């Protein structure tokens, strides 16, 4: 537990991505099984303790600490978990051995509600302040130390000197504390068998199109498709199992039964999850009602019916098609859609064109609801995990849209004074987020309530009316123009920025980089 606590502590203060990776890889190298595996589980969201809640901690602390001193301290520190961990009367001399991370995980998973307070109190007695903080954060499920599941997996890959795609492909077949994974990565065991039914295949991603590059590209080398305004998913059906994955490999089958039900084929398909009514795509806001849920009730399912619009096929009846050129996979996909009937699956059509100018016109005018731009894919491109250069491009419709990360939130004025309604957002400059603007509208009242809740639950720091939040929420920001500015750290000022969408689904690593904005500056 001590080393896990040290790790959390260093990660929490370290802003640089590369430094975080080094801290993680060092931890995996130094710390033995099963401790390192449970640490990995904690960082990838693989642990969930239903009974251990913040109220339990507060109860234990107030039994032990003078209430006046507790209130003064809480007021000063501002965070319950931190106050509790610091103020807990240390009793290390009582001689209890500090728990290991394994003790904590296994005991929390097997202990009933009645015995929990006594056990937790014993642990808190035996740990030091950093250990108590880590324990409370772990138990109550809010590590919030700026490490995404993907970053943790990247560190594992670095530790073992393998490609991240290999880890992602295996991931669903692994379980905490991942002893088989670490054995393989440290050269003392075989590679764990990924050949489990319906495995996730790491997805291929596109680069934003730089329009100046079009001259160098030949239209006849590319196929175009509409870019749908939904959430990227992968359907994997094999050996009697059907799984629906997000683009980062998290399984969400339970939340979208209409997709999973009635699958009697054997294939792995790539497509866009959309809310569809009578063959038409509903606004993204409708889809949001269905995202981020573990399960779905009949009403929600009926009101917001989901479907998947397919654009690639990776495996067909056990045959791996990923090394085929895109054109050949496309032919296979079209034949497959002809052959298979599933009420909630359809084909994303290609968009025929003969010149870039023609395509630019189509991008501007001719599209149905739910289209946010075009995808350009080289006809000869194999399906390669990650974001290979020069093969796939996304060409969004409105150039003045960026994906930014929410960094700070501030209370509004007037009737919004109880809401965190003014948001400072930033984009990446190398490893760092730099603030590029502030927006306080563009969302509905319902979205504001959700944002406000999110801000309160994800605060990492307070400065008067301003809260610094966990850098984990991407928003699509629309704006009217961009100018250079010496007043902002980023050197940019945005005109008329507002939220156009909240991307609850999007990993922060995929927010825009500052170079994308600089390219929009007037010359």
Partner 1 sequence: MVKPESWLKTTPGGLYCEPGDFYIDPTRAVERAVVTHGHADHARPGHAKVLATDATLAIMRSRYDDQSGITQQAIAYGEVVEIGGVKISLAPAGHVLGSAQVVVEYAGSRVVVSGDYKRRPDPTCVPFEPVSCDVFVTEATFALPVFRHPSDEQEIAKLLRSVALFPDRAHLVGAYALGKAQRLLRLIRLAGYDRPIWLHGALQNLTDLYAGFGIDFGDLRPATEATKVELAGQIVLAPPGALADRWSRRLPDPLTAMASGWMRVRARARQRGAELPLIISDHADWDELTRTIRDVGAPRLWVTHGREEALVHYATGLGIEAEALSLVGYEDEDS
Q: Is 19 in the site for partner 1 (CB under 8 A)?
A: yes
Closest CB to partner 1 among 135 and 269? Answer: 135
Please give the radius of gyration of the chain, using alpha carbons only, rounded to the nearest integer: 25
**Rounded Cα–Cα distance for residues 355 and 36 (Å):** 54
Q: Is 22 in the site for partner 1 (CB under 8 A)?
A: yes
Closest CB to partner 1 among 24 and 237? Answer: 24
**Rounded Cα–Cα distance for residues 153 and 167 (Å):** 7
Q: How far is the CB of 19 from partner 1 (least distance, A)?
A: 7
**Rounded Cα–Cα distance for residues 232 and 442 (Å):** 24
Q: How far is the CB of 461 from partner 1 (least distance, A)?
A: 5
Name beta bridge partners: 424. Answer: 408, 438
463 in helix, strand or coil?
strand
Among 23, 121, 203, 409, binds partner 1 (CB under 8 A): 23
Among 103, 106, 128, 334, binds partner 1 (CB under 8 A): 128
Q: Is 352 in the site for partner 1 (CB under 8 A)?
A: no
- Among 206, 203, 293, 208, which residue's Cα sits nearest to residue 248? 203
Q: Is 72 in the site for partner 1 (CB under 8 A)?
A: yes
Q: How far is the CB of 83 from partner 1 (least distance, A)?
A: 6
Q: Is 129 in the site for partner 1 (CB under 8 A)?
A: yes
- Interface size with partner 1, residues (CB under 8 A): 32
Q: Is 80 in the site for partner 1 (CB under 8 A)?
A: no
Q: Is 461 in the site for partner 1 (CB under 8 A)?
A: yes
Q: Does 227 qualify as catalytic in the annotation?
A: yes
Among 33, 80, 90, 194, binds partner 1 (CB under 8 A): 90
Closest CB to partner 1 among 71 and 221? Answer: 71
| Catalytic-role residue among 137, 153, 227, 506 | 227
Question: Could you please report the per-residue DSSP string of 90-129?
Answer: --GGG-PPPPPHHHHHHHHHH--TTTHHHHHHHHHHHS-H
**Residue 338, preceding peptide bond in cis (omega within 30° of 0):** no
**Rounded Cα–Cα distance for residues 393 and 192 (Å):** 34
Given the rule CB under 8 A, which of 82-90, 118-126, 225-233, 381-389 is the region that contacts partner 1? 82-90
Q: Is 466 in the site for partner 1 (CB under 8 A)?
A: no
**DSSP classification of residue 253:** G
Q: How far is the CB of 73 from partner 1 (least distance, A)?
A: 5
Which uninterrupted H or E stretch holds 246? strand 241-246
* Contact indicator for 269, 283 with CB cutoff of 8 Å: no
Q: How far is the CB of 10 from partner 1 (least distance, A)?
A: 8
- Among 435, 432, 439, which residue's Cα sits nearest to residue 490? 435
Q: At what angle do helices 67-77 and 54-64 cross, to 10 degrees?
A: 130
Given the rule CB under 8 A, which of 74-82, 156-164, 278-286, 511-519 is the region that contacts partner 1? 74-82
**Rounded Cα–Cα distance for residues 391 and 221 (Å):** 10
What are the backbone dihedrals phi and psi of residue 320, each rounded to the nearest 5 degrees, phi first?
-80, 115
Q: Is 158 in the site for partner 1 (CB under 8 A)?
A: no
**DSSP classification of residue 513:** B
Among 21, 52, 57, 87, binds partner 1 (CB under 8 A): 87
* Contact indicator for 29, 156 with CB cutoff of 8 Å: no
Q: Is 460 in the site for partner 1 (CB under 8 A)?
A: yes
Q: Is 26 in the site for partner 1 (CB under 8 A)?
A: yes
Neighbour tally for 174: CB within 10 Å: 20
Q: Is 328 in the site for partner 1 (CB under 8 A)?
A: no
Residue numbers annotated as active site? 227
Binding interface with partner 1 (CB under 8 A): 6, 10, 12-15, 19, 22-23, 26, 65-66, 68-69, 72-73, 76-79, 82-83, 86-87, 90, 128-129, 460-463, 468
């Amino acid at each position: 537990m001590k080393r896990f606590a040290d790790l959390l502590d260093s990660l929490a203060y370290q802003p640089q991505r590369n430094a975080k990776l080094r801290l993680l890889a060092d931890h995996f190298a130094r710390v033995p099984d099963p401790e390192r595996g449970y640490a990995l589980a904690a960082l990838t969201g693989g642990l969930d303790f239903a009974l251990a809640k913040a109220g339990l901690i507060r109860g234990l602390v107030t039994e032990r600490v003078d209430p006046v001193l507790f209130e003064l301290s809480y007021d000063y520190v501002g965070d319950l978990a931190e106050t509790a961990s610091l103020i807990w009367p240390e009793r290390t001399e009582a001689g209890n051995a500090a728990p290991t991370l394994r003790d904590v995980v296994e005991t929390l998973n097997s202990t009933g509600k009645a015995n929990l307070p006594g056990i937790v109190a014993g642990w808190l007695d035996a740990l030091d302040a950093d250990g108590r903080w880590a324990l409370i954060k772990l138990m109550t499920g809010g590590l919030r130390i700026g490490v995404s599941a993907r970053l943790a997996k990247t560190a594992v890959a670095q530790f073992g000197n393998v490609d991240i795609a290999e880890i992602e492909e295996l991931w669903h077949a692994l379980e905490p504390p991942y002893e088989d994974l670490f054995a393989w990565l440290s050269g003392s065991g075989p590679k764990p068998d990924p050949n489990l039914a319906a495995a996730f295949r790491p997805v291929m991603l596109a680069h934003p199109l730089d329009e100046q590059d079009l001259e160098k590209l030949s239209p006849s080398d590319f196929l175009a498709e509409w870019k749908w305004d939904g959430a990227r998913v992968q359907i994997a059906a094999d050996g009697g199992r059907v799984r629906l994955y997000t683009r980062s490999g998290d399984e969400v089958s339970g939340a979208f039964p209409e997709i999973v039900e009635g699958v009697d084929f054997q294939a792995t398909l790539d497509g866009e999850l959309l809310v569809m009514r009578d063959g038409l795509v509903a606004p993204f806001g409708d889809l949001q009602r269905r995202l981020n849920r573990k399960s779905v009730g009949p009403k929600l399912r009926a009101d917001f019916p989901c479907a998947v619009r397919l654009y690639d096929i990776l495996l067909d009846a056990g045959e791996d098609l990923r090394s085929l050129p895109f054109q050949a996979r496309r032919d296979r996909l079209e034949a497959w859609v002809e052959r298979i009937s599933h009420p909630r699956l359809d084909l994303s059509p290609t968009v025929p064109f003969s010149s870039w100018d023609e395509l630019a016109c189509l991008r501007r005018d001719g599209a149905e609801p739910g289209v946010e731009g075009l995808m350009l894919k080289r006809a000869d491109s194999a399906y390669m995990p990650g974001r290979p250069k020069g093969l796939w491009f996304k060409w969004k419709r409105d150039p003045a849209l960026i994906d930014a990360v929410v960094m700070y939130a501030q209370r509004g004025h007037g009737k919004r004074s109880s809401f965190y309604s003014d948001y400072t957002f930033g984009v990446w400059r190398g490893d760092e987020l730099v603030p590029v603007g502030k927006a306080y509208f563009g969302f509905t009242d319902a979205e504001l309530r959700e944002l406000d809740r999110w801000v309160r639950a994800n605060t990492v720091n307070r400065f008067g009316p301003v809260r610094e939040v966990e850098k984990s929420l991407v928003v699509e920001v629309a704006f009217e123009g961009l100018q250079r500015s010496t007043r902002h750290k980023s050197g940019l000022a945005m005109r008329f920025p507002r939220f156009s969408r909240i991307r609850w689904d999007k990993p922060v690593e995929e927010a825009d980089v500052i170079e994308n904005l600089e390219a929009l500056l007037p010359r």
